[in-house]
Structure 1
Amino acid sequence: MQQEVLSKQLDLSALLHDVSNSFKGASLIVNQLIDGAYGYSLEEIRPFLIALRDTNDRGMSLVEANRVSQEAKPVTVAQFDMLSFLQTTYSLFKPIAQYHSLNLHYETQSSYKHGTQVQGDSISIDRMLCNLVTNAIKYTLAGDIFLRLLNQEDDLAIEIEDTGCGIAAEQLSNIFIPLWRAPNSNLLHQSGMGLGLYIALCVAHAHGLKISVNSVAKQGTKFTIIFPYKDDGIYGLDGRMLPKSQRLQDALSI
């Protein structure tokens, strides 16, 4: 019973974490538009208005998805194109990276061995990616962030790499623990709930994906998400979402 109560509390905290991040991003874009950071003509600001709309829609989608889960309705699993999905993610975060004087890059291949179709819950996958990109921006004081879609043999891989502060080797085993925050977070003046990487791990677990991290302190961090190849040429889930793990770190209901 205690485990179930704690799991529900984490679910709510995780939802508030992601909704808060979404609307913070929207507020940041609005303030930049008001200040004329991107110009004043409709043509100049159109891409940023689209990013603002998508950021706002993302927050509402998270709330709606939570309402559906509270009604015990099944999670919607659908097929979508990861290439264009990541393009939207890039467009959403580009003005936020610019605000922090960072360069956000979206790198793709000219072709993919088995295409880029993915099957899964797009809202959950969006949560995973947005948390990883948000963290990359948060812990990079200067330099570049790379969002990549590529093949690793037959598998489809997403890489999110930054040139930020990195993670000390002795801390790597802790980063997916809910509510854990790196000791240098306060030194970097970064606030947070310690839930972003926990959410990313939970989404990866539910979709049967592999998530790994490579990091060097003071040089940067790279997260890699592997979508294993399926015989039907579609990456991701074969059918329904995987059952909820009994482990605390996999306890997020999505």
Structure 2
Amino acid sequence: MQKEVFSKQLDLSALLHDVSNAFEGASLIVNQIIDGAYGRSLEEIRPFLIALLQTNKRGVDLIESRRVYEELGVVSVTEFDVLDILQKNYSQFKPIAQYYSLNLHYQTQVSYKHGTQVRGDSISIDRMLCNIITNAIKYTLTGDIFVRLLNQGDDLIIEIEDTGIGIAAEQLSNIFIPFWRAPQSRVSDKPGRGIGLYIASMVAYAHGLTMRVDSVVTQGTKFTIIFPYKDGEMYGVDGRMLPKSPKQVGSRRSFV
């Protein structure tokens, strides 16, 4: 019973964490528009108004998804284009990165061997990516953040790389533990709850993805998310969500 209660509390904390992040991002963009940081004319601020709308919608979608799950006990599995999700992420986070004097880069290929369609819970995939990008912004004091979509062989790969404070090798095994924060995270003046990467790892479990983390202290961190290719099938889950378990691989942490 205690484990069940803790699980529900953790689930609620995760939801509040992501909804809070979405609306904090929206507030930041609104304040910058009011201050004229993005320009004064409608033409100048239109991209940022779109980013504001998308960021606000993300928070609403998270709440609605939770409501549907509570009422029906199901997770929506659909087919979607992960390229579209990454493009929206870039639009939403570019003004936030700009606010912190960071450069956010979005890099794609001209074409993809097996396309970019994925089967899964698009809201959860978006949560995973938003939490990793949020952390990249939070723990990069100066420099760049890169979001990439590419092929490695037949697999579809998302990379999120930053030039931030990095994570010590001996701490990599802890970063997905809920509410754990690395000692060096205190150098950032941005608040953190230590739950974003836990959420990202749970999404990876459920979709059968592999998540790898490479990091060097003071040089930065790279998250690599692998959508494995299945002969004749779409990337992602096969019609249903399945819980997965983590396993350690060398100095990296992988989820399969």
| Smaller-chain TM-score bracket | over 0.9
- Residue 223 of structure 1: CA displacement? 0.2
* AA partner of residue 180 (structure 2): W
Aligned mates of 2:242, 2:194 — CA distance in 1: 24
1:25-104 alignment, distance < 5 Å: 25-104=25-104
Would you say 1:226 and 2:241 are equivalent positions? no
Asked whether the equivalents of residues 115 and 233 of structure 1 are also in contact (C-alpha less than 8 Å), the reply is: no
SS in 2 for 1:202: helix
- Compared CA separation, residues 167 and 246, structure 1 to 2 (3 A): closer
What residue in structure 1 maps to residue 178 of structure 2?
178
Work out the number of aligned pairs and report it: 247
- Residue 246 of structure 1: CA displacement? 11
What residue in structure 2 maps to residue 201 of structure 1?
201
Aligned mates of 2:115, 2:84 — CA distance in 1: 12
* AA partner of residue 60 (structure 2): M
Flag structure 1 segments of 5+ consecutive residues without an equivalent: 248-254
Task: Give the RMSD, CA atoms, in angstroms.
Answer: 1.5
SS in 1 for 2:52: helix
Give the structure, 1 or 2, with the largest relative contact order (CA under 8 Å, sep 6 or more): 1
Flag structure 2 segments of 5+ consecutive residues without an equivalent: 248-256
- Residue 168 of structure 1: CA displacement? 0.5
Q: Deviations over 1:149-201 (max 9, x none)?
A: 00011100000000000001110010000110111222333422110000000
Asked whether the equivalents of residues 211 and 224 of structure 1 are also in contact (C-alpha less than 8 Å), the reply is: yes
Q: Deviations over 1:44-84 (max 9, x none)?
A: 11100000000000000001111111113311111111112
Aligned mates of 2:245, 2:155 — CA distance in 1: 24
Q: Deviations over 1:116-164 (max 9, x none)?
A: 1111100000100000000000000000000000001110000000000
TM-score of the aligned structures, taking structure 1 as reference length: 0.94
* AA partner of residue 58 (structure 1): R
- Residue 234 of structure 1: CA displacement? 1.5
SS in 2 for 1:71: helix
TM-score of the aligned structures, taking structure 2 as reference length: 0.93
What residue in structure 1 maps to residue 216 of structure 2?
216
Q: Greater CA deviation, 212-221 or 62-71?
A: 62-71
SS in 1 for 2:18: helix
SS in 2 for 1:25: helix
